[in-house]
Structure 1
């Protein structure tokens, strides 16, 4: 592939999509296999490019080894206050050129999303909670992949 071409992957239904140019001759990790800590702190933007927050945590489903959620920090100032939102991994697109994630929602929908604060996390393994969250974002549940 020519590095000037746009690389658009349609990820499995449980994974994040990847868009952007990539250099097939580059060495090292990414964008397909990356250390989770290199993604923490990345901006999350809406489809118009407006910043919604940053990736605070990447949550793994330990028994399956799948990435379940990105926890988005929204409205915090220097880590104080603000809300956290679990966003299904499959609802995100990694934009390699802008070095950010894009989620298909706007700020108002995010504000209305089920959120939590840093001291009161939901039980992310609760199937009812997880199902409603995936429905909210219109994302396929990661546990349904064959």
Structure 2
């Protein structure tokens, strides 16, 4: 299911006029409409789907998308915290694109749904950003 199908308020269904779309997307999107969206790589291989979007409450920014990969009917699936900046919204195909090969994702640092990492740990954050080749966002001081 993609964000236009999950759009309960009709934000993205407006008619385009003068080159602009009616509504806030795609520069400003509702989180509820993005959870569940498919994620593909640039080789057009499906990598999984977005299970959660993690907000950094100190800075007010999106820190990570939690991507599920593998398994069957949620059994055996592995979760990955993917830096938000590593994802690109493909508005034509209504999905996200993550520039990573499937084999690399299989070896990425992931976690089980019952054992989430401490995403506020600066060392963990640095390692995740290094793995995906993204930069950490300088945010508000940690308390």
Deviations, residues 89-144 of structure 1 (Å, cap 9, x unaligned): 01111110111111110110000000001000000000000001000000011236
| 1:119 maps to which of 98, 101, 114 | 114
Per-residue deviation at 1:78?
Answer: 2.5
Map 1:8-19 → 2, pairs under 5 A: none
Which structure 1 residue ranges, 4+ long, deviate > 3 Å from structure 2? none
Unaligned runs of 5+ in 1: 1-22
Say whether residues 1:67 and 2:68 are aligned partners. no
Structure 1: distance between partners of 2:53 and 2:75: 19
Q: Secondary structure at the match of 2:33?
A: helix
Structure 2 residue 73 is the aligned partner of structure 1 residue 88:
no
**Residue 138 of structure 2 aligns to a residue in which SS?**
helix
Superposition CA RMSD, Å = 1.5
How many aligned residue pairs are there? 123
Q: CA deviation at 1:43?
A: 0.7
Residue 113 of structure 2 is aligned to residue 128 of structure 1 = no
* TM-score, scaled relative to structure 2: 0.81
Separation in 2 of the partners of 1:98 and 1:33? Answer: 17
Between the two structures, name the one with larger relative contact order (CA 8 Å, sep ≥ 6). Answer: 1
User: What's the TM-score once normalised by structure 1's chain length?
Assistant: 0.80
What CA distance in whole angstroms lies between the structure 2 residues aligned with 1:134 and 1:114? 11
Q: State the SS of the aligned residue for 1:37.
A: helix
CA contact (8 A) 1:90 1:142 kept: no
| Contact preservation (8 Å) 1:59, 1:69 | yes
- Residue ranges of structure 2 left out of the alignment (5+ in a row): 1-15
Give the Cα separation in 2 of the matches to 1:101 and 1:141: 20
